[in-house]
Amino acid sequence: MGHILIIAEAGVNHNGDPDTAMKMVREAKRCGADIVKFQTFDPRKLASRHAGMAEYQKNNTGTDETQEKMLEKLALNHDDFRILARYCDEVGIRFLSTPFETDSIVFLDGLQDIWKVPSGEITNYPYLVKIARTNKDVILSTGMSTMEDVEEAVRVLRDNGSKEITLLHCTTDYPTAMEDVNLKAMLALKEHFSCRVGYSDHTLGIEVPVAAAALGAEVIEKHFTLDRSMDGPDHKASLEPDELKSMINAIRNVEKAMGDGIKKPSVSEMKNIEIARKSIVASRHINRGEILTEDNLTTKRPGNGISPMRWNEIIGTAAVRDFEEDDLLEV
């Protein structure tokens, strides 16, 4: 199994504060993530003045305002992102940010070598074309989508120049209830599109991303925050740093445990074969020439003699010498 790409989704959990964003870069690196990802947008170009907040945003923020007003509190400017990208290089973690409108695509094109397309843009034709024409690899979240939605988005991306496309199964609710995860849909995407797949998680806890890794996810994305009690729309469905570290450690262990799929004794268990398996031995004194039967033979450890799988071959033959109880049988 190859290395699973783990994206620590900082998103807007910096609450519009560049210093908090820098700290999140350091924490993502400390926790072992491959990528720390942000979100780039102009609030006025992302949402109209008529767009209301989602229910989860209202619940998580305790307010009921327009999306534009909410987003204004969460946005970083272009200089902030340039600084963050350089800082990621210094720290030793890959920088990535999701653009939420076409001007942000143009800006980010010079800062990163792949794209992460969010679920909400999967039906945004001009956005997808703009992404595709950069000729970069794309990681596409598929929350809220039917298979037909994904097919159309993939077609647009491929027709306009996208290279490798990785599809992330996702449920767009924050937090996502376990019964709404439908993790097997990730496998359906892999079978249908014959491409790399992964999972973008919004559940509470770390169980589902770890399960996704065991099912073959090649990319795992998970929101994190410095403190889940902070104000903002996404903190409550995010992991705190130590939880993120635990998730990453668990996924790395799953990587090791998956192996190559060939059924064979591992190097570590070879030494235990003789100890754990059994051999055919005498169950009492046997005279030379005596016929070997179920009455004078049994099986016992260690397993360095004749295998019990040869039992029927041995029964009915004559003893080649005298045997005492517990002696390994010889033929």
| Chain segment 200-257, per-residue pLDDT in tens | 999 999 999 999 999 999 999 999 999 999 988 889 899 999 999 999 999 999 999 9
pLDDT, average across residues 13-42: 97
pLDDT, average across residues 29-37: 98
Q: What residues contact 101, with CB distance under 8 A and at least 6 apart?
A: 41, 42, 45, 46, 127
Predicted pLDDT at 189:
98
Q: Where in the chain is the domain with CATH 3.90.1210.10?
A: 267-314
Predicted pLDDT at 51:
82
Predicted pLDDT at 8:
98
Per cent of the chain over pLDDT 70 is: 99
CA distance 44 to 51: 11
| Chain segment 255-277, per-residue pLDDT in tens | 999 999 999 999 999 999 999 99
Report, at the CATH architecture level, how domain 267-314 is classified.
Alpha-Beta Complex (3.90)
CA distance 243 to 331: 60
Confidence of residue 1 (pLDDT cuts 50, 70, 90): low
For 13-78, the three-class secondary structure string (H helix, E strand, C coil) is CCCCCHHHHHHHHHHHHHHCCCEEEEEECCHHHHCCCCCECCHHHHHHHCCCCEHHHHHHCCCCCH
Instruction: Give the fold, CATH level 3, of 5-258.
Output: TIM Barrel (3.20.20)
| Chain segment 114-153, per-residue pLDDT in tens | 999 999 999 999 999 999 999 999 999 999 999 999 999 9
pLDDT, average across residues 273-300: 98
CA distance 281 to 286: 11
Torsion of CA 159, 161, 166, 171, to 10 degrees: -60
Q: Specify whether the CB–CB gap between 315 and 297 falls below 8 A.
A: yes
- Please state, in angstroms and as integers, the Cα–Cα distance from residue 183 to each residue in 116, 147, 180, 258, 331, following that order: 20, 14, 9, 18, 56
Lookup: tokens for 187: 């496998």
| Chain segment 66-89, per-residue pLDDT in tens | 877 888 889 999 999 999 999 999
Q: What is the pTM of this model?
A: 0.88
Computed from CA positions of residues 267, 268, 273, 277, in that sequence, does the dihedral angle turn out positive or negative? negative
Quote the mean pLDDT of the chain.
Answer: 95
The number of residues in the chain equals: 331
Place of tokens 């008529």: 50
Q: Where in the chain is the domain with CATH 3.20.20.70?
A: 5-258
**DSSP states along 156-178:** HHHHTT---EEEEEE--SSSBPG
Place of tokens 């979100």: 39
